[in-house]
Amino acid sequence: MKVVVTALALGALALSSPVLAQGHDRHDTPAPRHEQAKPGKESKQARHVRVCKAKYRSYDVKRDAYRGQGGRWIKCRL
């Protein structure tokens, strides 16, 4: 009986503690920073999307691709 209670207590402790449950501390490293464009200057990603949309009517932003002649999706490399 003591073994079952101890096992249940350890299991509950592991589930309640994010450090033990995930095996690492989530707060030790900061999140990566995205590079911000200067005010009045377009970011590289925004420029890429704008150029691909201008060249390919079927350009899909989520796929970063356009429809080729055979109907296949082709990655925009502009």
| Terminal Cα-to-Cα distance of the chain (whole angstroms) | 68
Instruction: Give the domain ranges of the chain.
Output: 42-78
Helix (H) or strand (E) holding 74: strand 73-75
What DSSP line would sit under 39-52, residue for residue?
TTS--HHHHHHHHH
Report d(CA 28, CA 46) in Å as an integer. Answer: 32
Decide which of 58 and 5 is more confident: 58
Report d(CA 50, CA 42) in Å as an integer. Answer: 10
- What is residue 70's predicted lDDT score, i.e. its pLDDT? 93
Decide which of 52 and 18 is more confident: 52
- Give per-residue pLDDT as tens, 29-72: 666 676 666 778 889 999 999 999 999 999 999 999 999 999 99
